[in-house]
Amino acid sequence: MFNSKLKVLSLGVFLAFAVGCGEQTEQQVMVQQAVKIEQADSCHLCGMTISNFPGPKGESYASTQDDINKFCSTRDLFGFILQPENKRQVKEVFVHDMSKTPWGQPNDEHFIDAKQAWFVIGSTKTGAMGQTLGSFSVKSDAEVFMQEFGGQLYTFDDITLADL
């Protein structure tokens, strides 16, 4: 009798723990989303005010922190996340989707997962730090952009510090 009560109690504790862990994971996932860039936000890499410049911006989460890092350009974003000391810690990366938002004033409602995006490097379009990476959810939009403004097409995993 005592053993069966102990088993039931143990099972209850296990289930409560498992459900609690599941809720924690869902909550963490919900927190790890792109957030609105506020007027006074500054770039995590260079310190410049993000909203003062055209072109796509970026955001990233590291496995070692809960706060998001915001960047004034996709170039600064990649300049940070590709550094050897940061590369292994990157969890989530977001960029403006230039397939859906104007270059001059990117809309924060159009952030996309950078790991799924297409990037154009070497175009004539500029951002906060001069040349920057155009970021697109749709490959054909990136190709049309390249025809008009030049550059080369990359995936997230293809980009290196040397490309910047």
Closest by CA to 164, choosing from 122, 123, 124, is 122
Residue 119 confidence (pLDDT): 98
Q: Is residue 6 part of a domain?
A: yes
**Structure pTM?**
0.80
Residue 66 confidence (pLDDT): 86
Rounded to whole angstroms, the Cα distance separating 142 from 122 reads: 12
Q: Is residue 66 part of a domain?
A: yes
Rounded to whole angstroms, the Cα distance separating 41 from 84 reads: 25
Q: Is residue 44 part of a domain?
A: no
Q: How far apart are the first and last CA of the chain?
A: 69
Q: Is residue 40 part of a domain?
A: no
Is residue 67 domain-shared with residue 23, that is, in the same domain?
no
Q: Is residue 159 part of a domain?
A: yes
Is residue 105 domain-shared with residue 67, that is, in the same domain?
yes
Do residues 71 and 91 lie in contact, with contact meaning Cβ atoms separated by under 8 Å? no
Is residue 27 domain-shared with residue 67, that is, in the same domain?
no
Q: Is residue 42 part of a domain?
A: no
Q: Which tokens hold the place of 158? A: 């293809």
Q: Is residue 116 part of a domain?
A: yes
If one counts every other C-beta atom within 10 angstroms of the C-beta of residue 123, the result is: 18
Q: Is residue 56 part of a domain?
A: yes
Q: The domain containing residue 75 runs over which residues?
A: 50-163
Residue 28 confidence (pLDDT): 42
Q: How many domains, the chain?
A: 2
Judge whether residue 153 has pLDDT over 60: yes
* pLDDT, tens digit, 9 for 90 and up, residues 58-106: 999 999 888 999 999 999 999 999 999 999 999 999 999 999 999 999 9
Is residue 27 domain-shared with residue 54, that is, in the same domain?
no
